[in-house]
Amino acid sequence: MKISISKEQLMLGLQAVQNVVATRTTLPVLSNVLVRAQGDRLELTATDLDISVTTSVPAAVKKPGATTLPAKKFFGIIRELGPQDIEIDTDDKNHTTIQSGSSYYKIHGLGADEFPAEQPMTESRNITVPQEKFKGLLRKTSFAISTDETRFVLNGILLSLKEHNITMVPRMAVVWLLPTKRSMCQPAARVNA
């Protein structure tokens, strides 16, 4: 893989995916971001096996390819580089060189084939919810989400969609909240079931 990309575009992509990267994991590849160059785009993907985020940014792809790089280290290097365009070159052994101006870095990554494949969604439905109403529901429920990392089942909100009703249910150790908005969901033009 060999690409040239502006610092601003690469930073936008890395900022979008870096918070999903697992910090403590038994699989080393989950600490990495998948970097895939094809066409005129650079695709960045991160996952913790529960959540996956993929984004793509424009890049001058000289040689298509893919690798995974340690996300925090990669982001830290790119953040400290000057405003010049960045040259990224990866060899067959997943050794990646990053050059910008007089700066030169070498990072050892893992093969793209070791990165977990995205799980296809078996069922999908599309709806449109007014942003202000959705934000209102999040404001009323997000405070009740547990921050205890040892009890993952309490770290989220159940989002239920039934006909034209949306229900959000966060769960803390002893508190249940059940705010519901009626008739706020509009069916999308196409619903796949």
In terms of pTM, does the model score above 0.75? no
DSSP type of residue 137: H
Where are the chain's structural domains?
Answer: 2-114, 127-187
**Cα separation, 92 vs 114, whole angstroms:** 14
Beta carbons of 145 and 176 less than 8 angstroms apart: no
Per-residue pLDDT of the chain (193 residues; tens, 9 = 90+): 999 999 999 999 999 998 888 777 788 899 999 999 999 999 999 998 888 899 999 999 999 999 999 999 999 999 999 999 999 999 999 999 999 999 999 999 999 999 998 877 666 667 778 888 888 888 888 777 777 766 666 677 778 877 777 888 776 655 555 555 554 555 444 333 3
**Cα separation, 29 vs 50, whole angstroms:** 14
Q: Which of 48, 43, 87, 49 is nearest to 67 (CA)?
A: 43
2-114 sits in which CATH class? alpha beta
Residue 78's alpha-carbon distances to 66, 70, 71, 73, 173, in angstroms, are 18, 12, 11, 9, 41
| Token pair in block for residue 148 | 């205890």
* Most distant pair of Cα atoms in the chain: their distance: 59
